[in-house]
Structure 1
């Protein structure tokens, strides 16, 4: 995920090919062993074109929702993150508040959620009025939590105590941990929604191991797709996937300023966390079961179909999650919060209702079409007949006497007096 000069040159060339001019970021010197700053460029990234999230901003932009990002910290000085990063904590270097980021991934995932729109910059976050609570549990950009699974569990507990409504875990651990499971259970009991990446262990050379916390009950597991909507090569695959989102050639904020291109399920999970922030902002009292149902039931169809081991319930759909009406019941009727059937039942109900409506509208359309064809044939004929009936009226039958009566004088002579 670290982007050097070659990648930045590629990004500039892509911008030039699109007819847009790249605007160099302010010069910045990378700290030792830290990811280089990014560049600023103008095109609207493909995930934003896909989601067109501006349609729901008339309803909410994520205000009053705190999203905890458990990763490498967040660069609070980034211009597009100004005012959106709260003081957090550092579980690697005690005493820090998580507002700095050397590895870069924390700043990148945070930008997908809360980056502010700026002139001449195509990129912005999904929920720009939400706030980010950085919880630093990693000091690298490739592997799992540097603070260990115990640090990840403590980070979840910290986020719960600080009032986070959504917790994003952009990394995956591959060993089960009772401590991590207990921390997740604490978050679920506190009605805090956890969104977690499924990792990059699904390639042909990977073991496709079970990721944690993505596979734990109550957690939304997220895998990555490309612009073609096909699953990325290395994204994890398995029954632990609930949703998919963009995770290839994703543009986001880079530590030290500017933007960068990144890949992986971490960024797909950030898009889902942003969508969850919108839902929790619009419905503040909605439970995590209800939020999960909304996100899964309104997901857009993916190539693998429903309940696929590569695509889960489909592609997250922020607009649908806010605007769609679920049928048969209000959101949240989830028996036991079972990831295997509850969300699928709600989704199938929604699709069934949509199918019935589509069939009804199709039937009405056929009737209207037949009526128009009939009118098209009748109008010219009517004009030719000057709108007279085509069939002459049947003559009135008159009863004649069998024997004629004496003739009647039509003009009788007047009587004279």
Structure 2
């Protein structure tokens, strides 16, 4: 397969996979053209061992003329400069360009299996083929640097992401995050606490050497895998008693997220790490013990990035919200029996009662004249369910009476206001 953005629909274009020599040649041409327009022009470092490519990713930042700083205006300039045949605009993401396939293809030097010798051969079928180029324009060089880091080496961060995820860390399109365990199952975004968007800080924190690994591709997939396992969060538990290698591999896969399991089907380097490299490590007895823990990683994040206050505040706010949900749904509404539909007075009474209990317990409303003997909350700021249950059992009749008095008073006031309005209208009509 080649690039897929233009391969379907009306007037589909043929965008086949590019051999490495063509890929390198046209990428160099496009970079040269775009450097006339932008200060920063780059493509993520390619994954190891790739010999053909479906598309070319190019990232841009800081237009030289200071204009077209918005994504749409900048893209129009890029389309014109590259001579794109067609463009698909994707707001906030890479936009897809279809460019004519080069009519002259590079040919390798005699006895060489690498790139271009300067000799070119005519491609007789160039008119029927196109190159897909994915362009993303960033508002700052810093944002662009992060994306080059995040998508460098192909599947590197997909693999690393699966390694660090069990330890409460997430790397996404914007930064490295620490997840709050109490929140992550119910609200992924709320669970994330920002740590850093500096690539060097990320590598240092996850225990990986910086070196020149983000200056050139890994020699092969094995070299990339060996880089990954320097992360202290990587381990390969040994076989359990009565467990064969097939069962162990199944357990390894079960720990992956659903999108990681999809990558297993689509990404050879990602699949090779789990299907082959991890199996080899287990057979050789490499990394059998965990070298750290989620608790330890969390403490290290607190110390390095000074996020303990935010982490605990977010966790406590979430737990308090969950307590309020439980109190409202179970300890208040769940403790007051629902009357028969044929008894409207009882239905009205229950409605007034549960609303009043909610205001008193969860909103600190003192206007009903009923307060607990102590406090609904402990010294830690969390509700005591025992105190709430005791209050509801002891004071629900008193609260119900006060709530009905308030309801009746409001109803009487409503009737008086309505009568006065009608009398005023009659007087004006006379």
TM range (shorter): under 0.3
TM-score, with normalisation over the residues of structure 1? 0.24
TM-score, with normalisation over the residues of structure 2? 0.24
Q: Which has the higher contact order (CA 8 A, sep 6+)?
A: 1
